[in-house]
Amino acid sequence: MLHAVNSLAAAAPTPTSADSTDYTTLPVQRMGTRLHQRTSAPSQKTATKARYVTSLATLPNDPLAAQQWNFMSATTYTGAADNFNAHIHNGSSSEVIVAVVDSGVILTHEDLRTLPGYDFVSTAEIGNDGDGRDADPSDPGDWVTQDDQQSGTVSAGCETSDSSWHGTAIAGIIGAASFNDTGIAGGAPRVSLLPVRITGRCGGFIHDMIDGIRWSAGLPVAGVPVNPYPARVINLSVGFAGDCSKALQSAINDATEAGSLIVAAATNSAVDLDTTPYSPATCENVLSIAANTREGTLADYSAYGSEVFLTAPGGTRSDAIITTENGSNSAPAPESSYGYHYGTSLAAAHVSAGAATLLSIDSGLSNTELSNLLQNSSVVMSESSICRAGGCGFGRLNVNRAVRILTDEQLTDDSARPPVGAASASSPETESNSGSGLIQLPDLFFYLITLISLRKFCNN
Ligand SMILES: [Ca+2]
Ligand SMILES: [Ca+2]
Ligand SMILES: [Ca+2]
């Protein structure tokens, strides 16, 4: 029997055995929701850049950047993750590979650059591409019609829906091309996206997710060529109700040991994960990410609990996040499109982008160093009793603060640089010139933020 968990419902989750060897169930569900409010590529060329206030002197030249509140400064929008400022301050020396383990990606999208990935969806019924596993991870669409239900091509429990373009939306948040005068800007400035397809119509299988994780990390998977592009970060904006199974935990442990950082959506179940577990959110060696609103509060659909590492922008139905997608409600249209999505899927993608940004500055960072940087730079949340009780993890993601802590550490370690005190007092011009040189910034703001974050770091 196939069954689907409503990814947004606050209702009690459907119980599952969480036994990854039970291949007859289809528990894995995407954790983002697409809204039918869309911007097509041609009209966005003329989008105004004045829609939102920003502390940046200049936004990325991507025409939809002015709508990307989620990447703006946290002083502009409390719930924003400050990626744009981080871009300008980082050295961007390395290209970082991030696996998008999801529904596939529109590979021809004008604002996405992808590596050759793989399609792990093991049945044609779910994959909707005429076969089982194959080397083409493009998203053929995952729409479900009433006809499908009546003819039995999908399970009885599978609800009708338009195509979600979920993987394309997540890919855009992590790594849409920035400063290319096209569409949106991505969360990380230099990233190669590895599309790893594990869900289709009605969801996906846990064993496909397990194989997708292993393959993403460069580990062998029977019957599939080895991935020549092992991912440094693996984004899992998917989940299922139940405890982490042995097989899933084993795949996550092996991928971590192989060098991958695993980031997962906390899920849109609105539950306390401590009492109602979802996976992979509650697996070990996973950064579980809850969703916050533009105002910085925990989103009402977001799971929470002591398993949560951070919150990051997930938006809401009425205040969603623009990203790459496709304009069609069924099979993909040829045009590149952008649309609004919300969910913990988006939140996880912001953290994956944040980790990739840090790795693009220092590719030698360990997983522990990455999580320490993300933790020490996060903004404590005290807006709700859930957060005050520790249900929102260490707080809200702030990528710019993480980058500032990292780059200051590099200054300290580099004997060719001025001593620590002098480095902290160095002129803004020096800082700006060491960056991309694209934009002049109000640097005092960043120094103040850095001092605050360092003080917090020391007090801890
Ligand atoms: Ca296929
Ligand atoms: Ca395929
Ligand atoms: Ca762009």
Whether residue 345 lies in the annotated active site: yes
Cα–ligand 1 centroid distance for 240 (angstroms): 22
Which of 156-165, 182-191, 298-307, 451-460 bottoms out in mean pLDDT, i.e. has the lowest? Answer: 451-460
Whole-angstrom distance, CA of residue 281 vs CA of residue 266: 5
Q: Of the given ranges (205-209, 255-259, 269-273, 420-424), which has the lowest mean pLDDT?
A: 420-424
How many angstroms is it from 138 CA to the middle of ligand 1? Answer: 9
Q: CATH number of the domain at 29-412, please?
A: 3.40.50.200
Task: Give the dihedral sign, CA 8/378/294/89.
Answer: negative
- Catalytic, out of 102, 129, 148, 211: 102
Name the closest ligand to CA 63: 3
Plot region of 190 (φ>0 → left; ψ -120 to 50 → alpha; else → beta):
beta
Q: How confident is the model at residue 24 (pLDDT cuts 50, 70, 90)?
A: very low
Q: How confident is the model at residue 448 (pLDDT cuts 50, 70, 90)?
A: very low
Q: What is the pLDDT of residue 83?
A: 94
Average pLDDT, the chain: 82
Q: How far is the CA of 198 from the centre of ligand 2 (A)?
A: 10
Domain ranges within the chain, ordered by starting residue: 29-412
Q: Is 102 a catalytic residue?
A: yes
Return the pLDDT at 428.
30
Q: What is the mean pLDDT of residues 362-378?
A: 96
What pLDDT is recorded for position 91?
58
pTM: 0.82
166 is catalytic: yes
Ligand nearest to the CA of 139: 2
Q: Which numbered ligand comes closest to the C-alpha of 59?
A: 3
pLDDT at 424 over 60: no
What single string gives the DSSP state of each residue in 43-82? HHTT--S-SS--SSSS--SSTTGGG-GGGS-TTTSTT---
At 225 the three-state DSSP class reads: coil
Answer for the pair 290, 393: CB distance below 8 angstroms, yes or no: yes
Whole-number pLDDT of residue 21: 36
Report the C-alpha gap between 281 and 31 in whole angstroms.
11
CA of 139 to the centre of ligand 2 (A): 7
**Distance between Cα 170 and ligand 1 center (Å):** 20
Computed on alpha carbons and rounded to an integer, the radius of gyration of the chain in Å comes to 21
pLDDT digits (tens, 9 = 90+) for 129-164: 999 999 999 999 999 999 988 888 887 788 899 999
Q: Tell me, what's the pLDDT at 52?
A: 40
Spacing, Cα 293 to ligand 3 middle (Å): 23
Ligand nearest to the CA of 141: 2
Measured distance CA(152)–CA(306) in Å, rounded: 41
pLDDT band at 38 (very low <50, low <70, confident <90, very high): low
**For residue 260, what pLDDT is reported?**
98
Contact assessment for residue 363 and residue 194, using Cβ atoms and an 8 Å cutoff: no
Q: Can you tell me which residue has the tokens 């990814």?
A: 7
